Chain A
Amino acid sequence: MTREILNIENLFVEYSNIRGKVKAVRGVNLKLYKGENLALIGESGSGKTTLGTAIIRLLPSSGYIKDGRIVYKGNGNEYDISKFSEKELRQFRWKEIAMVFQSALNSFNPVLKVWDQIYDTARAHGISNRNFVKERAISLLRYVQLDPERVINSYPHELSGGMRQRVLIAMSLLLEPKILILDEPTTALDILTQRNIIELLRTIKADMGLSMIFISHDLSLAAELADRVAVMYAGAIVELGSVEDIFYRPKHPYTLGLIKAVPTVTAGFRELYSIPGSPPDLINLTPGCKFAPRCEYKNSVCEKDEPMLVEVGQDHFVACFRHKEIGNGR
């Protein structure tokens, strides 16, 4: 089961803007295993979305991969995605790795019917048999609990937000990709629709065994769906481990702070507090641990050197000099 399918090695991504270079992703090492759900958790500006889009090389035009490799292992071969030509990328995207974006509302071309957009996708990958595509599209739409006949002939604006999100998920499965990246897949939706999407994603995982990467600021999505969780702060992964390790045995003060900042409804009360201060400026980064200015555990070392990820338990990594002092669970 634990065969890796994606290996991100020492990845650096930057954006250039008028003020300077935004160091959005700084030296990320991350493996994705076959059939697992990995959650990338972080707040705005943590680099999680940049990391996600870098995987399929869809960075905005001001962004670029400065260093590192993104190795995809599929069909018995290894490919470095960061070296792909435009043509290779085109064939690779959606077929091997599909991505569901944050704003399903704007993910569809407003002037084309759903069917045209589905067929466009199939044709781009060499499948031009209309009947075949139609049958597959209908069965997928049915799978995501939509009325296929109605949806397929609709324009995007005729569908509700939840329906569009389901259409996009159905479309992402069209070419049976090995990896599915979902960027904030539930954020804009209301709670009952969120639940429905979560259940759908669970079913997909059970039925199809593909690997999924969830990008979210919302810890609960990770708690719902992830096998492993990577917590990002200021462009780097500060803690990585199984979902139980992260939620019940966090070793990084930031992870601990995040978890303690979110109240629950159905569980009892627990002690909550918020992290003081705000995230650092990614253009003028100070030396040392980027979290140090907001950290109550910091000492003089933290302000000089930046900690690396070290293994603190089985498959549990943390980038903190003082991880031994961070409480053992609640």
Chain B
Amino acid sequence: MEDRAIIQLDHVSKSFTVRSGIFGGRKNMQVIGDLSLSIGRGEVLCLVGESGCGKTTTGKLIVGLIKPTSGRILFEGKDIWSMNNEEFKDYRKAVQIIHQDPYSSLNPVHRIYNILSAPLFRHGLVRNRSEAEEKVLDLLDRVDLTPPGDFIYKYPHQLSGGQRQRVAIARSLTLNPKFIVADEAVSMLDVSIRLSIIELLRRLKEEMNVTFLFITHDLAMAKYFGWEGRIAVMYLGRIVEIGPTPRVIENPLHPYTKALLMAIPEADPQVTRNKTPMKLRSLDIPSLLNLPPGCSFNPRCPFWIEGTCDKEVPDMYEPENDHYVSCFLFRGK
């Protein structure tokens, strides 16, 4: 897998300093702790976790919007923060992001044409207006905004949420990317529209051979979009379990993953009413400013081993082939 990897995270950590006033105490808030991850070319990796677990930060680190506090992020084997200008430009073009909120991801003062043509002009993909128009129409067509002529000179506010998200997707495609981070790309959309956006992403992935990091809080969507890929489950800034999607869903190993799967309400009365949720030791999520020592899930975990889980941080163990878990229950297995 290493040689095919398009993106690798090598012991990446990210902290923010939180200050209160001029003399207030500075506190280190570790959002990502020692994250190592490798995403193969053409793969779909679903990053799943609750809000505030650090999954959006991971996405921003990968697209180079923020710098890691420590560790390296490699694109095609090169550390993005020690690239030369030429290499960094190529990386910028190759790695794109689709945001969650289609209402804030499009600049309200620009028409769709301007939004989509700016990167084309900037990177010399078109030379004049008629070329740009042609290319923009083609992009709109590709994201099923048809007929594209109806959309090209509209402002974002004249479109519905689903249509805006399609424009945002079209924008991410302008530079023929190799890798796209989709950060909760459907969670703000109406239920009946979500699936069509997911289908669009799936189609683009096939047509353009794009690698996807699909960030979501919705395990069902992850399962649906990433069945052929892998799922990584994140909790308080760390990946606690990672493996091929079918195995993580059908045979979850980490207590947190298990708790999630047992807790998720499902749109099927029989299925959902027959669930027996896991009894957690505590309902409260620890604050990132005040993380518990040892495994961060230990204060809530029913399988917690006193003296071990609250003292040491577990490594990644591989009890099954390609299926990793960071939990002492699997040490030595």
A residues lining the B interface (CB < 8 Å): 43-44, 145, 160, 162, 186, 190-196, 198-199, 217-224, 243-244, 247, 257-259, 261-267, 269, 272-276, 278-279
Contacts and interface: CB of A to CB of B under 8 A. Distances in A.
Given A259-B267, A263-B223, A264-B267, A160 B284 contact: yes
B224 interface: yes
A162 B283 contact: yes
B154 to A, nearest CB: 15
Contacts of B195: 261, 272-274
Interface stretch (B76-84, B125-133, B256-264): B256-264
For the complex of A and B, the 3 pairs showing the least CB-CB separation, nearest first, are A274-B195, A195-B263, A220-B265
B138 interface: no
Contacts of A243: 269
B192 A43 contact: yes
B199 A267 contact: no
A18 B85 CA distance: 52
Given A192-B263, A265-B219, A223 B272 contact: yes
Interface residues of B, number: 41
B201 to A, nearest CB: 13
21 contacts: A43-B192, A162-B283, A186-B265, A190-B50, A191-B217, A191-B260, A191-B264, A198-B265, A218-B267, A220-B264, A224-B272, A224-B273, A243-B269, A258-B192, A263-B220, A265-B219, A265-B264, A266-B249, A267-B268, A272-B195, A276-B196
**Interface-central residue, A162, A247, A258, A265, by most chain B CB under 10 Å:** A265
Contact of A266 (B192, B269, B271): B271
A130 to B, nearest CB: 29
A145 B263 CA distance: 18
B261 A265 contact: yes
Nearest to B197: A274
B268 A247 contact: yes
B162 interface: yes
Interface of B: 50-51, 160, 162-163, 190-196, 199, 217, 219-221, 223-224, 227, 249, 259-269, 271-273, 275, 277, 280, 283-285
A263 B224 contact: yes
A305 to B, nearest CB: 24
A219 B264 contact: no
Contacts of B220: 262-265
Contact of B261 (A162, A257, A266): A266
A266 B266 CA distance: 8
**Interface-central residue, A199, A217, A278, by most chain B CB under 10 Å:** A278
Nearest to B52: A190
Contacts of B223: 263, 265
A272 B285 CA distance: 34
B283 A261 contact: no
Nearest to B221: A263
A259 B264 CA distance: 16
Contacts of A194: 263, 265
**Interface-central residue, A160, A199, A262, A266, by most chain B CB under 10 Å:** A266
Contacts of A186: 265
Nearest to B227: A269
B256 to A, nearest CB: 9
Contacts of B217: 190-191
Contact of B269 (A247, A269, A275): A247
Nearest to B195: A274
A37 to B, nearest CB: 12
Given A160-B284, A274-B199, A199 B194 contact: no
A290 to B, nearest CB: 14
B263 A191 contact: yes
Nearest to A264: B266
A265 B266 contact: yes
**Interface-central residue, B162, B259, B262, B264, by most chain A CB under 10 Å:** B264
B260 A192 contact: yes
A129 B280 CA distance: 38
Nearest to A274: B195
A265 to B, nearest CB: 5
B50 A191 contact: yes
A275 to B, nearest CB: 4
Given A223-B267, A259-B267, A274 B193 contact: yes
Contacts of B194: 261, 274
A217 B191 contact: yes
A220 B259 contact: no
A259 to B, nearest CB: 7
Nearest to B192: A275
A266 B263 CA distance: 11
Contacts of A193: 283
B44 to A, nearest CB: 15
Nearest to B159: A278
B316 to A, nearest CB: 23
Contacts of B269: 223-224, 243-244, 247
Nearest to B160: A278
A6 B285 CA distance: 39
**Interface-central residue, A198, A222, A262, by most chain B CB under 10 Å:** A262
Contacts of B280: 192
A273 B249 CA distance: 22
Contacts of B163: 278
A204 B199 CA distance: 40
A226 to B, nearest CB: 8
